[in-house]
A and B are shown apart, each in its own frame.
Chain A
Amino acid sequence: MTGLQLYLILGAAVFLLGLHALLMTTDSIRRLIAVNLMGAGIFLIMVALAGRISPPDPVLHALVVTGLVVAISATAFALRLITAAARIDSGQSAIPDKASRLASKTLSDVAEDSRP
């Protein structure tokens, strides 16, 4: 087994591990971490692929750097959203909908022109 293959398998394993965690948990923070793990797996694969030729492929390195930037911003945004959602999770009151109130209205006010 070459080094390239080893890293590729490792990357795939990390990706799958993340996917597994994502599917198995419901907690938002855990799921976010799982997503990040998947991302790490992919970056590992990309860095490994860059080494398939020598000198290593600079394009893939550039892609990984770009991908990291995207991942960091997305994670920051997600964290903010998740914490905000968690904070208000408890305080939702159920006001009955107007339609359900109206449904109890009788048929007596049937439209004007009910000629047979």
Chain B
Amino acid sequence: MSTLFTWTSLLPVLIILSSLIPGLLIFATPEHARTRRTLLNMTGIVIKLILVALMLAGVSQGLTFRFEIPFLPSAPLVLHGDALSLQFIALSSILWLATTIYAIGYLEGSPLRSRFFGYFSLCVSATVGLALAGNLVTFLLFYELLTLSTFPLVVHRGTPAALKAGRVYLAYTLGGGTLLMMGVALLHSLVTTPDFTAGGYVLAQIEDSSLGLQIAFILMIAGLGVKAALVPLHSWLPQAMVAPAPVSALLHAVAVVKAGAFGIIRVVYDVYGVEASTLLALTQPLLWLAAVTMIYASIRALQQQDIKRRLAFSTVSQVSYITLGVALAGPIAAVGAIVHLVHQGLMKVTLFFCAGNFAETLGIHKVQEMDGLGQRMPWTMAAFSVGALGMIGVPPVAGFISKIYLGMGALEVGQPWVVLLLAGSALLNAAYFLPLLYRGWFGKPPADGWQKDNFKNHRFETHWMLLMPALFTALLSLLVGIFAGSILSPLGWSEFIVSREFAQ
């Protein structure tokens, strides 16, 4: 019990509380107290960033951060900050900063902001908790809390369309959560619930209960696949686009979709382990699922004329890269998968910020309306281009790094067809992103002026709180690509994670 009170065990709790407490306080903040709300948000973010930096330093020094309280018999609540969780936490904390600033600008003057930012903070707390979860039961807990805290954000507008999307969202995610719970409970009855262990902990049971283990795996992947939007469980994602732009950005880049992908990483690497997953013949079907998702969603994206919907299908496709990398079950592919968690987040959040800026500033929602955008909003368009090129995999943007590692990983484990698949996917990505860029930069602006122009006489091309986050994340996507070789980059950190994962 004495470990309860050391700073290393309390740090994970503090990281969660640093967004939870501001969130609860924001709920109690009156609607008009704008400054107080912003102050609470910013304080929370700064504290969280400091704590995360502290933990990063600690983990790279070899310290362990573990917090435990009893919950269920032989399944306590465990928070454990390891290298993999830090990858996710660092991403979500930085993007929380960007998204909050963006949301403050975006929602200026609209009602119910206290409720919005309250749930926003809860959502970040749930995401961070999920990243810090040290065993499956704890993971399940935060996974469900994430569903609950994101629902009010999806239906924030309260229009019939938003409610409809919200119901679909709930039906999918709660259904997924139930499947996950069944899987976790089944696995618990087979091998109980120890901490996540690099290399997994089911290998000893593989002889006795292979069927049970397989079913538990399928249930859990189905449950996680809903949030990770694996085909055919992806339909909620494009519908959830009715939410305000910062919510879409958060859902797509960090919170919900990534929670699913992160869960898949955890289940394959730290619960089953690569060896057991391969022995149980589970990785190959997962690989196929990821491949189908990648191609199908890209084709669907081609058909979409609404910018946000096109981005949504692109998310479905891009997140399956992570699953693909995991399913390849080799160290290099694993690096690709884990690093893509961050890269995709940075690029996708940029794209959503930009799409939101187009809509907010000029009322542009459709691809056809993008002609000549680059002349009116050069900075936003530039950021958008960075994101889009990164998605396609053009060096030196971050996406290139992920794809290279995934491709090399596929060759390493002797699945060369995956390289072809990646190339095909890149072509499809190009096919649905390049027209946007072409229209934006080389198209002619409408002769009769923009249908609406909100920030015409503004100092910047749009509200600075909308522009800055987009530029910031675009810059980050470039930087992590350019400096991928350094140890502090996401790539370096991913290699550090994988070196531990595959040490066994």
Whether the complex brings A and B within 8 Å at their CB atoms is answered yes
A residues near B (Cβ < 8 Å) are: 110-116
Taking CB atoms, residues of chain B closer than 8 Å to A113 are 107, 110-112, 157
Q: Which of A112, A113, A114 has the most CB of B within 10 A?
A: A113
Taking CB atoms, residues of chain A closer than 8 Å to B112 are 113
Verify if B299 is at the interface (C-beta below 8 Å from A): no
21 A-B pairs with CB atoms under 8 Å apart are A110-B159, A111-B111, A111-B157, A111-B158, A111-B159, A112-B110, A112-B111, A113-B107, A113-B110, A113-B111, A113-B112, A113-B157, A114-B157, A114-B159, A115-B110, A115-B157, A115-B244, A115-B360, A116-B359, A116-B363, A116-B365
Cα of A111 to Cα of B111 in the assembled complex, Å:
9
Taking CB atoms, residues of chain B closer than 8 Å to A110 are 159
Taking CB atoms, residues of chain B closer than 8 Å to A114 are 157, 159
- Smallest CB separation, B370 vs chain A (Å): 16
> Please, which residue of chain B has its CB at the minimum distance from the CB of A110?
B159
Cα of A116 to Cα of B159 in the assembled complex, Å:
10
- Smallest CB separation, A83 vs chain B (Å): 48
- Smallest CB separation, B241 vs chain A (Å): 10
Taking CB atoms, residues of chain B closer than 8 Å to A116 are 359, 363, 365
- Smallest CB separation, B102 vs chain A (Å): 14
- Smallest CB separation, A8 vs chain B (Å): 50
> Please, which residue of chain B has its CB at the minimum distance from the CB of A112?
B111
Cα of A111 to Cα of B159 in the assembled complex, Å:
7
Cα of A115 to Cα of B158 in the assembled complex, Å:
11
B residues near A (Cβ < 8 Å) are: 107, 110-112, 157-159, 244, 359-360, 363, 365
Total A-B Cβ pairs within 8 A: 21
B interface secondary structure, majority: loop
New contact pairs (8) apart from A113-B157, A115-B360, CB-CB < 8 Å: A110-B159, A111-B111, A111-B158, A113-B111, A113-B112, A114-B157, A114-B159, A115-B110
Query: Nearest 8 CB-CB pairs, A to B?
Result: A113-B110, A111-B158, A112-B111, A113-B111, A114-B159, A116-B365, A116-B359, A114-B157
Cα of A86 to Cα of B43 in the assembled complex, Å:
66
Cα of A110 to Cα of B244 in the assembled complex, Å:
16
> Please, which residue of chain B has its CB at the minimum distance from the CB of A114?
B159
- Smallest CB separation, B65 vs chain A (Å): 41
Cα of A29 to Cα of B394 in the assembled complex, Å:
86
- Smallest CB separation, A69 vs chain B (Å): 48
Taking CB atoms, residues of chain A closer than 8 Å to B363 are 116
Taking CB atoms, residues of chain A closer than 8 Å to B244 are 115
> Please, which residue of chain A has its CB at the minimum distance from the CB of B359?
A116
Q: Which of B110, B360, B365 has the most CB of A within 10 A?
A: B110
Taking CB atoms, residues of chain A closer than 8 Å to B111 are 111-113
Cα of A110 to Cα of B107 in the assembled complex, Å:
17
- Smallest CB separation, A108 vs chain B (Å): 13
> Please, which residue of chain A has its CB at the minimum distance from the CB of B159?
A114
Taking CB atoms, residues of chain A closer than 8 Å to B107 are 113
Taking CB atoms, residues of chain A closer than 8 Å to B359 are 116
Q: Which of B112, B159, B359 has the most CB of A within 10 A?
A: B159
Taking CB atoms, residues of chain A closer than 8 Å to B157 are 111, 113-115
Cα of A91 to Cα of B466 in the assembled complex, Å:
63
Taking CB atoms, residues of chain B closer than 8 Å to A115 are 110, 157, 244, 360
- Smallest CB separation, A55 vs chain B (Å): 55
- Smallest CB separation, A60 vs chain B (Å): 47
Cα of A41 to Cα of B52 in the assembled complex, Å:
76
Cα of A113 to Cα of B112 in the assembled complex, Å:
9
Cα of A114 to Cα of B163 in the assembled complex, Å:
13
- Smallest CB separation, A103 vs chain B (Å): 14
- Smallest CB separation, B32 vs chain A (Å): 14
Cα of A115 to Cα of B110 in the assembled complex, Å:
9
Cα of A110 to Cα of B363 in the assembled complex, Å:
20
- Smallest CB separation, B103 vs chain A (Å): 13
Cα of A110 to Cα of B158 in the assembled complex, Å:
9
> Please, which residue of chain A has its CB at the minimum distance from the CB of B244?
A115
- Smallest CB separation, B473 vs chain A (Å): 22
Q: Which of A112, A114, A116 has the most CB of B within 10 A?
A: A116
- Smallest CB separation, B164 vs chain A (Å): 14
Taking CB atoms, residues of chain A closer than 8 Å to B110 are 112-113, 115
Cα of A19 to Cα of B159 in the assembled complex, Å:
55
Cα of A112 to Cα of B107 in the assembled complex, Å:
12
Cα of A114 to Cα of B156 in the assembled complex, Å:
10
Cα of A113 to Cα of B158 in the assembled complex, Å:
9
Cα of A113 to Cα of B109 in the assembled complex, Å:
9
Cα of A9 to Cα of B96 in the assembled complex, Å:
79
- Smallest CB separation, B157 vs chain A (Å): 6
> Please, which residue of chain B has its CB at the minimum distance from the CB of A111?
B158
- Smallest CB separation, B309 vs chain A (Å): 12
Taking CB atoms, residues of chain A closer than 8 Å to B360 are 115
Cα of A82 to Cα of B107 in the assembled complex, Å:
60
Q: Which of B107, B158, B359 has the most CB of A within 10 A?
A: B158
- Smallest CB separation, A106 vs chain B (Å): 13
Cα of A110 to Cα of B163 in the assembled complex, Å:
13
- Smallest CB separation, B455 vs chain A (Å): 14
Taking CB atoms, residues of chain A closer than 8 Å to B158 are 111
Cα of A35 to Cα of B363 in the assembled complex, Å:
73
